[in-house]
Structure 1
Amino acid sequence: MSTFYLVLDGEGYAHVQVEVYADGTVIAYDAEHDEDRYGVLTYAQLDLDEFAPYEIGEREFSEELGRLCPMNLRADRPWPPGR
């Protein structure tokens, strides 16, 4: 099972995307790192109503991301986003 964390704007476009896989692999994308050999930041407009039941607060989001270490980002890059 995989877990995805997304920061969506008011129109449903992702600005941050974090993918956590069952084996512990974590990859992340944002405006500064939107594509690499592992994947890409989604460019699709997502339905906000469809994702509403999965919404978490900014604090919980930051705490969860603070526990993760994306393997596809440079080690010297601040993580999580906005830090």
Structure 2
Amino acid sequence: MDTIVLKVADFLTVAGARGHATYEQQAAATRLGMGTLHRLRNGGPASPTAIARICTTYDVAFDDVFAFDTATARRVKEPAA
């Protein structure tokens, strides 16, 4: 299913240029939760709120940091059995 996903490398370049290299700095700047940023940076779908906050915070166009693609959220760590 196609959805809107973060272009992670482009986002990290834009955020890094503002001195926001960590999840904590990016969350504070965008006013998004850490979980939201983790989901976005791991290929999860972007909500309209996340899109607006990232584009506004970093003064970028939608196409600069987002793309239409297939959401491929992946589990970073397997849960303990």
| Normalised TM-score (structure 2) | 0.24
Q: Which structure has more RCO (C-alpha within 8 Å, separation ≥ 6)?
A: 2
| Normalised TM-score (structure 1) | 0.23
Of Structure 1 and Structure 2, the greater strand share is in 1
Of Structure 1 and Structure 2, the greater helix share is in 2
